[in-house]
Structure 1
């Protein structure tokens, strides 16, 4: 907890739909003095949102529903176009957004990718929103969507071209912040670009992990990843291991042992550089912090991440 903040009192103002509190607290100023302040805080729990996109059709799934706060603040119809979203309801963010996607849109997605989390209105609302993206196909449609009738949801499902959705932001037809963020993320990271038929795939797996730096065990890991690389090549793609690139450079630079200053300066950073020129990452093998970091970096760049060799077409 922040030692410069002391909660003095919490008063519940409303506990009808969600919880509205008046928080009185003391904060320490730069001169060391303490000052009392009071703010209202609205706790509605945390939530999740997702953009469903179809790379082949170049479309996205959005929803439209009536939102009374927008109606009270200038939205003439009260209808708002949004990405699918909902509260977590004691579930993990991933489980929650899969459920919400099916309830609201009718699409049952299994592989979801988390891109970030954010406070959406930190001046008054406690909510953290978890942001996801996922590919959908027509075969994933298992219902009509529209929300849950018992919760009085009346949601229109919209499948629209991605470029049209971007234009709707410019024209003011889409004004929902989470939806704008997701659409712009998809644009920046080129999520809807066609997957190249021949991909440049970086193989990410354990090198030193679990070996105690035993050279025989390290070679075993390399042999395993080389076997995977050969299978990727035979599938029609161009594989690469960071080790193929880094190890000769490390030796040439004068490294004396695994994990010395020269090794650490080149080994992992060289893989990050390679990643920029690859279409995808294939995560293979057992535990590896370095490989997991490569996957995280790939996701942040909007790269494809494969977890199984069979996922590569």
Structure 2
């Protein structure tokens, strides 16, 4: 206990819902003198709150319900957009937020992460609020949410794009303190950034283009693509060249020269087959009709297209 504070008297002013007390206490000043002060303290227990987020969809779950204190203080509708929250009710903070999440939103979450706790209105309310975040997905939805009818809760479940929710802080559509704190935590810590993963990247560049079928110039193009593939590998990904796959097949099939029927039957189609199993294409080098076609095919498939090795994220 703080030796510079002495509680003199506690008077209960109301216990109709929660407990409102008038507390008289003595505090020691810097000069050693003691002063008497009285303050009101509202004890409603401690609570927990959570931000549900979906990294793949870039969305978050919030709620909307009527809050009478806001209605009598400038909120024309009394409806407030906020993160799911509730009192602990003799539970641990984590057990409480799991229960509240299912009751209010209909999602039965698995892994929750505590990110901190805070006094939300320390001048008058005793409550400590425990803050959590958790990922959600459609297969976690086990009900419609909306709150507990017996407690006269009427809660609307909202799903917003994350960036829209951030913008709503600026527009004033979101004014709830705990919700702003959770959203800004997610923004600062880049909680919804896609998880970096290993990609299978097809290297597309000129093979014959601009060489006049000169073997030395063709080999130079191959070396450029091989050098690039090594950089892709060192960035933590799996590089592949159509040439690695097609040229041995072309030779085995009996091709006699570049551009003959066997070459044309295997060379470009091999790259297209590879592309179906790749996550991205890296376009390098100079003009090449074949490489440009691979880029167009990749875009048509919804693949990632990189135009510079520096654009590829490093994961090692």
Provide the residue aligned with 1:70 in structure 2: 70
Match of 1:49 in 2: 49
Q: Please state whether the residue corresponding to 1:191 is helix, strand or coil.
A: coil
2:143 corresponds to 1:152: no
Q: What is the match of residue 189 of structure 1?
A: 189
- Report what 2:178 is aligned to: 178
CA distance in 1, matches of 2:77, 2:145: 22
Alignment correspondent of 2:36: 36
Gapped regions of structure 2 (runs ≥ 5):
200-235, 238-316
- SS of the aligned residue for 1:31 comes to coil
What corresponds to 1:86 in structure 2? Answer: 86
Residue correspondence of structure 1 range 140-289 to structure 2 within 5 A: 140-198=140-198
CA shift digits 1:138-176 (9 cap, x unpaired): 000000000000000000000110000001000000000
> Could you list the runs of 4 or more consecutive aligned residues of structure 1 that deviate by over 4 angstroms after TM superposition?
none
Match of 2:253 in 1: none
Which residue is 2:108 aligned to? 108
For residues 152 and 163 of structure 1, the distance between their equivalents in structure 2, rounded to whole angstroms, comes to 32
Q: Does the residue aligned with 2:183 lie in a helix, a strand or coil?
A: helix
Report the TM-score, using the length of structure 2 for normalisation: 0.63
- How many positions carry a matched residue from both structures? 201
Which structure 1 residue ranges, 5 or more long, are not aligned?
200-235, 238-313
Helix, strand or coil at the partner of 2:36: strand
* CA offset digits 1:101-124 (Å, max 9, x no partner): 000000000210000100000000
C-alpha offsets along residues 152-207 of structure 1, whole Å, 9 cap, x if unaligned? 000000011000000100000000000000000000111111111139xxxxxxxx
TM-score by length of 1: 0.63
In the other structure, the counterpart of 1:12 is 12
Take 2:151 and 2:82, find their aligned partners in 1: how far apart are those partners? 18
The separation in 2 between residues aligned to 1:56 and 1:17, in whole angstroms, is 42
- State the structure with more CA Rg: 2
Match of 2:252 in 1: none
Whole-angstrom distance in 2 between the partners of 1:22 and 1:174: 33
CA distance in 2, matches of 1:86, 1:10: 27
